[in-house]
Structures are given as structure tokens and as C-alpha cells.
Amino acid sequence: MRYDIREGRNRVIILALSGLVLLVFILSAGVGITGGLAWHFYHTQKTITVPMLFDRPFVSDAASGDAALNGLLVRSFLNLRLSVTPETVDSQHATLLRFVPPESRDALKKQLAAEADYIKKNGVTSVFRINDEMTDTTTGDIIAEGTLSASTTNGNLKIYLPDANKAYRLSVHYVDGLIRLTAFPEVPWTKPESRPQQD
């Protein structure tokens, strides 16, 4: 009789321990699967953003963005550099330089300082209206063409400032959630009929 009770108790303990070991394996597998899914969704999650004052939403994730994001960044950078007044030029150019990596900053900083000095000294207010955006398929750079309209606000400049057709090449990169503007030179403006057609 004693032997049967002991054997029954051992059987219950073995079953309880087996159940606990099975539960630990099930929980470990659940934690592993949950961690794997969390890692996957963190790296592949897409966010749709509808910015104020822009005409279309864009999709981005932690590593990249779509063409609408590039268009928004190009328009923002062009406005920061070219749609300025003597009162806003310093703050707008400082904001623009925040997106330029250190290795590209010196050349652009000198160019922006010369532009800001001219704008403040002559009281020039300018507005850039984008007429066309093209993507260079070999480099991924965006060429924006438009009309730069300028006027003088304080009368220091005694000449008429006609509207000018301008074009700029912007090299914009979106890497690991960081926006980088690596180049922003002026390029020759081309007439619409002489441009290559994009498919």
C-alpha cells in the first residue's frame, strides 16, 4: 500500500514537472516568435504622412521614402534657400545647413553667406516658383527648374530685377530616418522643348 502511494505521488510530480517544462518551451517559442515579429515590423513598417501646405501624402519607413517625399524635400529646400527676405535669410539658411552633412557643409555655407550678404545689403526679397522637377535616373538627383522673382524692399538697389529662369540640382538622401542634402548647385536652365522626355 505504501509503495502504491509513493509511486502515485512520484507520477504526479513527474507529470507536474513535465507540464512545467512543456510550458517553458511553449513560452520560449512564443517570446521568440513575438520578438521576431516585432523586429520585422519595426524595420518594415510604413508610415503615411500628410504634411500641411503640401499637395500629396508620402510614405516612409526607417530606411527610405517614396518619390512624393523627395518632391516635398526638394520644394522645402528650394524655399529655404531662394524664397527669402532680408529679415528671414539668416534663419532660413541656418535651417537649410542643418540638413547638410559636415563633409559637404563648408562649400555650401560660403555660398549661402555670399547670397545672404547680397540680400541684406541690397534689401532684396525673392520668391522661387517651381515649374518642373526631373529626376536624374543615373544619380537619383532631382533637378528643379523654375522662375526666380526678385524685388528690392528698401530702394538700395537702383536697377530693375527681371524674373530669371533658374535650375538647381539637389542631391537628397534619406538614410536611417535622417535627411541629408549633399549637393545644391545651380545648373544651366534648359528650354522645355529641348528637354529629354521622361517615360
pLDDT tens digit sequence for 79-115 = 999 999 999 999 999 999 999 999 989 989 999 999 9
The whole-number pLDDT of residue 77 equals 93
* CATH number (domain holding residue 161): 3.10.450.230
Query: For the chain, what is the domain count?
Result: 2
Q: Does residue 199 fall inside a structural domain?
A: no
Tell me: do 93 and 126 sit in the same domain.
yes
pTM (two decimals): 0.71
Tell me: do 65 and 148 sit in the same domain.
yes
Q: How far apart are CA 162 and CA 88, in angstroms?
A: 22
pLDDT by residue (tens digit) across 108-166?
A: 999 999 999 999 988 889 999 999 888 887 888 899 999 999 888 776 666 777 888 99
> What is the extent of the structural domain holding 183?
47-194
Q: At which residue does the C-alpha cell 520668391 appear? A: 127
Using CA atoms, how far residue 134 sits from 24, 61, 79, 111, 190, in Å, is: 58, 24, 17, 24, 12
Tell me: do 110 and 164 sit in the same domain.
yes
